Amino acid sequence: MRDETGDLIGPALLDWYDDHARALPWRVSPADRAAGVRPDPYRVWLSEIMLQQTTVAAVKDYFTRFTLLWPDVGALAGAEDAVVMGEWAGLGYYARARNLLKCARAVVSDHGGRFPEEHDALLALPGIGPYTAAAISAIAFDRSEVVMDGNVERVMARLFDIHAPLPRSKPVLKERAAWLTPDARPGDHAQAVMDLGATICTPRGPACGICPLRDPCLARANGTAPDLPKKAPKKAKPVRRGYLYIGQRADGAILVETRPEKGLLGGMLGFPGSDWSDTPEAAPPAQAEWQELGGEVRHTFTHFHLILTVFQAKLGRDEVPNRGYFIERHAFRRSDLPTVMRKAFDLWRGA
């Protein structure tokens, strides 16, 4: 049950948002929203998928390019997988890109090209989890859903001075966020909390003096805001190693492979290589005099650091590799490679 404090927080936050909302390429401004402009569910969905595990600054250019190439969900659904994966390269977490296409095609085939409004129906689509379903439902369709990201968790932890560490405190933080979510303008409310966390209630040095919620904020009153939210210690990421093989025929064609659909970099173009482990086994894709390139390729994934040793070789015109296939040099595009493979290509090209 709401009390007077809760009834004051929502209006204060929306008043602040009306004046200070960030201008983002996927967002309808409060003024336009008040004039009757509706958010485009496609743009909301695309931005939320891109923003997973990534920053707004990193996403803006990708979002602009994607929406120029594929302005609606039907256009994206009809795009070639390799082209979409190439445009995604650099954003990481490539399973998101594969699910992006699956989701677009499901919206077209199962929903007539229109995103469903209900949280549960959105949740049934490929690649859409509880957070993304809540965000689309609230922001695009103004349904009263609780949208929880890192910014919201931080604001809730400080507003209510909650000291239990993340991730254990997530259920309590969500309860508080649900308590504050209004029936009126829930989409703007969700974006307001996220903007507050991104611009004022920041991880370091929160600007409490100009915060619209400074009076009801318990952590500000208790002097604990800079210490919240508390987080459980992270385990150190392990280091894995591997071998990568870049072979080129005399006519310039380059040996590549399409990685398996499941697993890291699934379905993406790359160079043949070994397993990635503590003790990788050599796995040259053809009989040749493979020579080790100087230097290493280093890349960090979500759960581990990777160090690759790269080998090169000249391959015969009639070479039949035991793995992969050749792409003519004029048809080979560096942009089709994921970032770790681009690093290997750049090392090879500079050798």
Q: Which of 125, 123, 137 is nearest to 190 (CA)?
A: 137
Retrieve residue 348's tokens.
């090879």
H-assigned helices in the chain: 4-20, 30-34, 41-51, 56-69, 73-77, 81-88, 95-111, 119-123, 130-141, 150-159, 170-180, 186-199, 218-222, 339-349
Q: Is residue 145 annotated as part of the catalytic site, yes or no?
A: no
Contact 311, 245 (CB under 8 A): yes
Nearest to 268 by CA among 277, 259, 276: 259
Asked if 300 and 339 count as a contact pair (C-beta separation under 8 A), the reply is: no
Angle at 73 between CA 142 and CA 339, to 5 degrees: 105
Structure tokens that stand for 332 in this block? 């080979």
- For residue 165, give the DSSP letter: P
* Cα 31 from Cα 176, distance rounded (Å): 28
The string of DSSP codes covering 260-271 is PSSSTTTT-EE-
Give the residue from 331, 292, 285, 290 showing the smallest Cα distance to 310. Answer: 292
Indicate which residue of 4, 48, 80, 289 is catalytic. Answer: 48
Catalytic residue list: 48
